[in-house]
Structure 1
Amino acid sequence: MKLWDIYATMKNDVSYIERELERTVVSDHELLNETTLHLLKAGGKRIRPVFVLLSGKFGTYDLEQLKKVAVPLELIHMASLVHDDVIDDANTRRGSMTVKSKWDNRIAMYTGDFIYGKALTLVTELKNPDIHLILSKAMVEMCLGEMEQIRDFFNTGQSVRQYLLRIRRKTALLIAISCQLGALAAGADQNVSRLLYRYGYNVGMAFQIRDDVLDLIGTESQLGKPPGNDILQGNITLPVLYALQEPRLQEPLLKHIDEIRLNNGHSDATKALDLIRYSNGIKIAEQLADRYIQKAMDALAELPNQRAKRNLKDIAHFIANRNH
């Protein structure tokens, strides 16, 4: 099942959020308009706003209230991607030029900062102080995750635990609070918001692990970028860490990764990819992602039965099996 098929029942509300995203980032500054609209038109799964909307179904559903969470969370995600592309020196994302490659690093950084500011301005319209506290703490954690990723570039000696903590901060946390804050903004029961957070956290962990696997096994047409991009940027992901634990592969794989590092990522990752694909690393990583999906399902099982619950279940299945 395609993600947009899952979204079909909420098509009008998702379209409304899309329009609100554009309205929020429009400014009197011509260049900022160009850069922010370039980002919006590049698209994306809009999975965070959808989690907000679906979680809002467990309380008093009010689109005007929920947009004040859904739009800021997507903007924060977008801003983090702009900054990521500068750090990773990435030229393309989803098959389109990044802001830093179409303009330059300075423009990209200011664009990201502008989007962050717009996100925070909108969320202040919500009066629940818990929402502000949860969001601010998550943004701090995301920054820590970014710093950890920079620290661990080409660090083949990092532990699986380090990797999991990093993706918790960089990816899973924002998805988790999308579910939690959607419930809180709709006035849902605290236990419901807690269960939705747990669902979102586990889905987020599986989402990132699956993303890292796809970078190694996907095609350029599926990914919108060449496979092996993570390794070229120095990002040592879970399947690679598991592959490095295999004695027969450790030495040659370390050699190829070190060659990439010495060439500042301007290398061919084919030999490294071949070794990783030959290893059990991808299989073990996928098994861990499946365990996170099962934990998400366990959290869902405790929620009241309604269409939103079935949609959340379908999204979890999509994430577990996606190929792009």
Structure 2
Amino acid sequence: MDIFGTLKRDMDFIERQLYRSIEGDDELLSETSLHLLKAGGKRLRPIFVLLGGKFGNYDLEKLQHVAVPLELIHSASLVHDDVIDDAGTRRGKPTVKAKWDNKIAMYTGDYIYAKALMLATQLENPQLHRILAKAMVQMSVGEMEQIRDFFNTDQSVRHYLLRIRRKTALLIAISCQLGALASDATAKVHSLLYRYGYNVGMAFQIRDDLLDLCGTEKSIGKPPGSDMRQGNITLPVIYALQEEGLKVPLLREISAIREQGADADASKAIQMILSSQGISRAEQLADRFIGKAMDALDELPESKTRTHLKEIALFVNKRSY
């Protein structure tokens, strides 16, 4: 996609600011934070901020105070996730908790969150701060819900969708929204961009859950079935459990995984899910969210930026990593 070429210069600037933002007096915290950023990532949230800014008075100096904090908030949540999930690798690299320990990882996440909030204060718009704070609260609620739902095989699709809305979709939604808001775009524009980002975010998480079952360790940077071993019952699993002939044997496999712990062999459970309608049904729901995202974009003025947003939505829904 030529979007990455179009925004390369500005994204290089954002990347430099990301690295600069975590510098501090404590050498260890700077090192652990740098370790996380060096592991890379798609940087979708900063890209959404910049694209949202294109609908108003585009000012990179101003937008960095939205783009960098949002990526830092996302990064901090990953550090905490890895502690909760006891994850050894992320994006094919050792996690902070694996290279150091749980305590260092938790303080690293807190440090990155604090740095994000410091940077966001450079913008004086109170509405922006209210939206950001509310989203962070909802993210925390989503994380707690995920912990409570570990190995909960009775959860509904609706419950799962509410959880991923809080945990993933909201941050992507406000990335689109706040870029436009910081650039003084109209209320209608940043409302439509929020709707677009929310639906892309929902599809993004569903695709992430599918990749955990269908991907390879090389492509996704972690062993397939990691979610299930950690107790995270995702959408394809919920759908598979709704199939009468599969429910009892799959429940038996999930129970065995829970007893064996993080090193359990999840291959049988994975094969059961792959042979079910769970994968195709989850893909269909992701497609529906992308369709809603496209509907929101259709209400925006036609432009190169709108085309780029459509391309990203399609990439998100068909990605293999």
CA deviation profile, 1:233-261 (whole Å, cap 9, x unmatched)? 00000000000000110011000000011
Report matched runs for 1:51-200 at 5 Å.
Answer: 51-200=48-197
Taking the aligned partners of 2:82 and 2:241, their CA distance within structure 1 comes to 27
> Which residue in the other structure is 2:287 paired with?
290
> Which residue in the other structure is 1:247 paired with?
244
Taking the aligned partners of 1:89 and 1:13, their CA distance within structure 2 comes to 35
Identity %: 69
Give the TM-score normalised by the residue count of structure 2: 0.99
Taking the aligned partners of 1:10 and 1:151, their CA distance within structure 2 comes to 40
1:37 aligns with 2:34: yes
Query: Which among 299, 303, 307 is matched to residue 306 of structure 1?
Result: 303
How many residue pairs are counted as aligned between the two chains?
321
SS of the residue corresponding to residue 42 of structure 2 reads: coil
> Which residue in the other structure is 2:260 paired with?
263
* Matched letter for residue 238 of structure 1: L
> Which residue in the other structure is 1:20 paired with?
17
Taking the aligned partners of 2:261 and 2:37, their CA distance within structure 1 comes to 30
Taking the aligned partners of 1:40 and 1:149, their CA distance within structure 2 comes to 25
Gaps of 5+ in 1: none
Gaps of 5+ in 2: none
SS of the residue corresponding to residue 232 of structure 2 reads: coil
CA deviation profile, 1:53-102 (whole Å, cap 9, x unmatched)? 00000000000100000000000000000000000000000000000000
Shift of 1:198: 0.1
CA deviation profile, 1:165-214 (whole Å, cap 9, x unmatched)? 00000000000000000000000000000000000000000000000001
Shift of 1:263: 1.5
SS of the residue corresponding to residue 234 of structure 1 reads: coil
Shift of 1:266: 2.3
Taking the aligned partners of 2:7 and 2:136, their CA distance within structure 1 comes to 28
Give the TM-score normalised by the residue count of structure 1: 0.98
- Dislocated runs of 4+, deviation >2 Å: none
* Matched letter for residue 183 of structure 2: A
Shift of 1:8: 1.0
Report matched runs for 1:219-238 at 5 Å.
Answer: 219-238=216-235
Taking the aligned partners of 1:274 and 1:116, their CA distance within structure 2 comes to 39
CA deviation profile, 1:290-310 (whole Å, cap 9, x unmatched)? 000000000000101111111
Query: Which among 3, 7, 16 is matched to residue 6 of structure 1?
Result: 3
